[in-house]
């Protein structure tokens, strides 16, 4: 059984990220007064919907609105790795259609 986040919670999380880019999941949960697991479920769904982007390493991810990624140069993945990940995502999307 998979947990589907409440649309209201997803909307609140998305708005929080838009207004407070670069926060970790625990900071988002605390800022919204929700459980970390609830925030995690919403973050996962938002990421799958391409509404947010993630930077960092596991356990230390920082979340950004997909359309407002303003990261310092050299931060996150390299341009080559981003291209590879984008191509891989397209291949996977075609595979599951």
Task: Specify the pTM.
Answer: 0.65
DSSP symbols for the chain: -PPPPPHHHHHHHHHHHHHSTTB-HHHHHHHHT--HHHHHHHHHHHHHTTSEEEES-TTS-EEEEGGG--PPTT-SS-HHHHHHHHHHHHHHHHHT-
In a domain, 45, yes or no: yes
38-57: per-residue pLDDT in tens?
A: 999 999 999 988 899 998 88
Structural domain that includes position 39:
7-72
Q: What is the pLDDT of residue 78?
A: 73
How many domains would you assign to the chain?
A: 1
In a domain, 58, yes or no: yes
Q: What is the CATH number of the domain that holds 35?
A: 1.10.10.10
In a domain, 46, yes or no: yes
DSSP symbols for 39-61: HHHHHHHHHHTTSEEEES-TTS-
In a domain, 83, yes or no: no
In a domain, 80, yes or no: no
Q: Is the pLDDT of residue 73 over 50?
A: no
């Amino acid at each position: 059984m998979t947990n589907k986040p409440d649309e209201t919670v997803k909307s609140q999380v998305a708005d929080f990220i838009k207004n407070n880019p670069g926060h970790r999941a625990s900071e988002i949960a605390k800022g919204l007064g929700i459980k970390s697991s609830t925030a995690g479920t919403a973050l996962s769904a938002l990421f799958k919907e391409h509404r947010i982007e993630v930077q960092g390493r596991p356990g230390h991810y920082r979340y950004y609105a997909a359309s407002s990624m303003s990261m310092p140069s050299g931060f996150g993945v390299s341009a080559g790795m981003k291209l590879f990940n984008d191509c891989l995502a397209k291949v996977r999307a075609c595979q599951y259609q």
